[in-house]
Structure 1
Amino acid sequence: MRATKQKIMKSAKQKTPKMEAEFLKNLPSEIVIEILSRLPLRTIGICRRVRKSWRDLLGTREFADSHLSKSVQGMVVCTEFDNYEVFAFEDGLDLEDPKRRYREFTSFDCSELGISICNIKGSVNGLLFLNPLSSISDAYYICNPITREYIEFPYEQRLLDEDFNGTVNYGFGVSKVSGQYKVIKTVHVNKSICHVYTLGTGKWRRIPAGPPLGDNKNSSGAFLNGCLHWFVDDDEGSDLISCFDLETETFSMFAHPPLPLSKRHQVIVALGDYLCICDNTDENEIALWVMKEYGNDKSWTKEFVIRKGYRYCRGRPSGIVYPIKLFEDGHVLMTWEDRCKEFSMLYYSNKAKTTAEVHGVFGISSRMQAMPYTPSFVSLKSFPKEDVSLFR
């Protein structure tokens, strides 16, 4: 009896793979997309190599949209301007279990794009906007670390109609209705000039400029709710934020909370569903302001006052803090640049009301950038008129 049972079980195991393959083969493509889009990233990569039909489905816009709708926000970290690592958050970044803080799922080096060093100027739906720091470069890059694709698009200096030595601000986002991905470049010499590059068009366009933007080296255009946000030039004591609607390509303004006159120590970011401002003016503390109701400048709330902790540079505790993620339980992940231009990763525990340095993952670097990143399979090949290249 036992032998018969074992024979039946063995037979069932032998048939299972074929039965499963036939079952999946006969499913409608929309069901297969729904199933595959729920798998972990590494498993999706394996599925690419299992069946040609799956590989084809995984390359469609339908799959990319389905996966993106379920994708959980992680983080991209760049050290020394050229080494990029993409991380997933695990278990709310539980400080009591350091082994379960982060999980790296891909990385790349700028040299693979044929360039040396870059700044991250935007991160939207799995796409990164990179700005080369070389003074001889006139090109920008959009890349997807998951699909390993990138495009290069130049910016022609003649678009400025004059020699330029003024303030530059960038932004990268996607419009809410048309779904167009756009790069914004605003410059200010004696007047403001604004150009837009829409992915898939292969060219820059000049549009009516908004108010002059501040010379804030700490902030790129914060993308939220289909709009980009910058501080307005504060030379005349402005207390305004400039808001650029990517759908209508128009500027508007609203007030920010009461902040010191100079915005050089403030950072404006999008954290989850909220527009936030991190005020770094105080040497020892930061104030994190949150706009509770988007567009309502009366809803600014000072949500946290966080001690930076102490690392002395020439005898003084100091630095600028860049918020990366605001967790549901009130914990905050951030990078810190001190006056010695060294960077580290900090974690504020809302439970303990303490700030601690995150060790064992990033360490201290002479240069670090970190930004929220949502992994996606949005393919740059879906944008016409773009020359797509691959990196390892």
Structure 2
Amino acid sequence: MERLDAKALHKFKSVSKQWKSTIQSPCFQKRQLFRRKQSGDPCVALVSSSYGGSYPNPDIEALRTLVVGSSVSLKIPTPWENKTYSVCTSSCDGLLFLYEGCDPNIVVNPTTRWHRRFPPCNYQLVTFEKRETRHKTIYLPGFGKDKISGTYKPVWLYNSLEIDLNNNAAATTTTTCEVFDFTTNAWRYVVPASHFLILDIQDPVYVDGSLHWFTAPHEGETKVLSFDLHTEAFQVIAKAPFHHDSNQHITMCNLDDRLCVAEKEESEQVIWSLCSDHKTWSKIYSIDLDITFDSFGIYPSHALIPLAVLEEDKLLFYDTGYSPLVIHDPKTKSYDLAYTSKASHAQAICYFPSLISIF
């Protein structure tokens, strides 16, 4: 049964009480997800961003899913069809974290359609009250799992003084960190938070039990800040061989459970991988953006977003401005257009279908 597809297993719960009990067992669900990760490529969720326009719009839907290699996407019915959400770029065990303004956040399993709403954090409430200045400084949330306890944790880290949290006791440090606890259904502060300023408008990346951010450049250096979701401690794990700027020329990502960074250098995009043992960076891909432009008529002004390493070492990535999914074969230097979203501002995120939910 562990070898079966998660969607089929979700239906098979109605076969008998014994099947239902087995399929709902956390141990069974973990083993099934482990086999799924080993058996093939991830799926891609397409989430219509709030930047995509207002409703009603027949070309924009809240959530769609796509099997890599297929030109057809499937609409996933949701209770929030009349509203768009942003999505945290790090999926975890088949779960996605959706958020928007000071509305309730949502963690959703697109395979089983299970979802759970939870309240906004203090950062969301404060920035909504000061929404006229939100375009100046924006901090995005992260989502991951404590590898020891198995607890899932949404996290919001932000530079405290830049959003005027002087009336908050947690804002006496350089940054403020809020973590959501699903058992108490409440946000709490992590004290002490990081003493390193982080860059705004960046998606924290989840890898191997930790979330990662770029620090604000200090004396010309860009570093990577790590937050261990078990110990809830911060540390700078590596000095980066590249310099972050405000033009979105670099972006962080998770490829094959490795922390990676894509850096755009004129017509070339290089992807760096961090060796977790030696804390050193090495180049693993080099992408010719001129070929991408000639093939598909797009030329990104910022770094393309790597989504996953597929079978045969092919790379799946997308462009946020045009929303196409492109597959790059580094051996043949060829490109294939995998899918183009109807929504001009759809966010793409890879996930492995699972049966997991949070209660």
| TM-score (structure 1 length as normaliser) | 0.73
Aligned to 1:306: 287
SS at match of 2:29: helix
Instruction: Write the deviation string for residues 16-69 of structure 1: whole angstroms up to 9, x where unpaired.
Output: xxxxxxxxxxxxxxxxxxxx2211234324423332331232222232122122
Residues 374 and 313 of structure 1: is their aligned pair in 2 closer, same or farther, counting only changes over 3 Å?
closer
Check the 8 A contact 1:221/1:229 in 2, yes or no: yes
Aligned to 1:80: 48
Residue from 192, 202, 206 that aligns with 1:223: 206
Residue from 119, 129, 148 that aligns with 1:177: 148
Relative contact order, higher structure (CA 8 A, sep 6+): 2
Residue from 348, 355, 358 that aligns with 1:377: 355
Whether 1:67 and 2:32 are equivalent positions in the alignment is: yes
Residue from 70, 73, 98 that aligns with 1:130: 98
Instruction: Write the deviation string for residues 291-322 of structure 1: whole angstroms up to 9, x where unpaired.
Output: 2x215332x11111101211699997634300
Residues 47 and 354 of structure 1: is their aligned pair in 2 closer, same or farther, counting only changes over 3 Å?
same
Check the 8 A contact 2:159/2:175 in 1, yes or no: yes
Instruction: Write the deviation string for residues 71-116 of structure 1: whole angstroms up to 9, x where unpaired.
Output: 2251333253343233444xxxxxxxxxxx2387964255x23661
Whether 1:297 and 2:279 are equivalent positions in the alignment is: yes
Aligned to 1:57: 22
AA matched with 1:83: A
Aligned to 1:343: 323
Aligned to 1:232: 215
Instruction: Write the deviation string for residues 223-271 of structure 1: whole angstroms up to 9, x where unpaired.
Output: 1111011101126533200000000001001334422341632111111
**In percent, how many aligned pairs have the same letter?**
24
Whether 1:266 and 2:250 are equivalent positions in the alignment is: yes
Aligned to 1:389: none
What is the CA RMSD across the aligned residues, in angstroms?
Answer: 3.0
Distance 1:240 1:200 in 2: 33
Residues 83 and 167 of structure 1: is their aligned pair in 2 closer, same or farther, counting only changes over 3 Å?
closer
Distance 1:318 1:159 in 2: 29
Check the 8 A contact 1:279/1:286 in 2, yes or no: yes
Aligned to 1:6: none
5+ long unaligned stretches in structure 2: 50-60, 162-173
5+ long unaligned stretches in structure 1: 1-35, 90-100, 384-392
Structure of higher CA gyration radius? 1
Check the 8 A contact 2:146/2:229 in 1, yes or no: yes
Give the drift of 1:273: 2.5
Distance 2:231 2:104 in 1: 26
Aligned to 2:58: none
Equivalent residues, number: 321
Matches within 5 A, 1:182-331: 182-190=153-161, 191-207=174-190, 208-210=192-194, 211-215=196-200, 217=201, 219-234=202-217, 236-262=219-245, 264-282=248-266, 284-291=267-274, 293-294=275-276, 296-298=278-280, 300-308=281-289, 309-310=292-293, 318-327=301-310, 329-331=312-314
| TM-score (structure 2 length as normaliser) | 0.79
